[in-house]
Structure 1
Amino acid sequence: MSKKLETRESLLDRAACDAARLWARACSDELVREGRRVEGGWPGTMREARTRAAVEAARLLTKRSMAALAHDELDRLARITYDEARRSWGALST
């Protein structure tokens, strides 16, 4: 794998993790505003993760004038986003 591809991959991975943490925090904050406890399993879905990953990746790639996201990249980023959000949720839940 070339240095350019490694850089793209690491940028996208970091963006997916950042989006996941923000997503978990937003879900937690919403429950708290509603007077509910942050507990139980992660309430997000893979479909939501895919959307969040796609939006964040598009923003990043556009900003850096990089080629659009490939289908296989989106699949990988959706999984990273979902898994990281679930981990973050576990750290936030009581």
Structure 2
Amino acid sequence: MTFIFLKEHLRQRHYNWSGEPNHSIQNKEIDRKTFDPFNGFQVLFIINYFGKSIGKLTVTDGLKVEELISTQLPVNAKSELSVFNWLRGIYLFYGN
């Protein structure tokens, strides 16, 4: 059984939850769609997608990813794909 990081796990409370999840979330694949770090649906999607890609996800892991997104996301990471690649680079560099 795969762990899913949920809205209730998020620490930050600045997220926007209006509207529908974007098509990437519905298709369960990242793409070049614009990433909005204030959109709760997209943040949850990236956290869970990243966890799935590295083969593990706990609440602690998800909170680390959330913290990275909210405090260190480069301004040039504008798409879901660029955010994912940035997270992958951070993960590989720090070794978790």
Output the TM-score relative to the length of structure 2: 0.30
Larger helix fraction of residues: 1
**Which structure ranks higher in relative contact order (CA pairs < 8 Å, sequence separation ≥ 6)?**
1
Q: Which has the larger radius of gyration?
A: 1
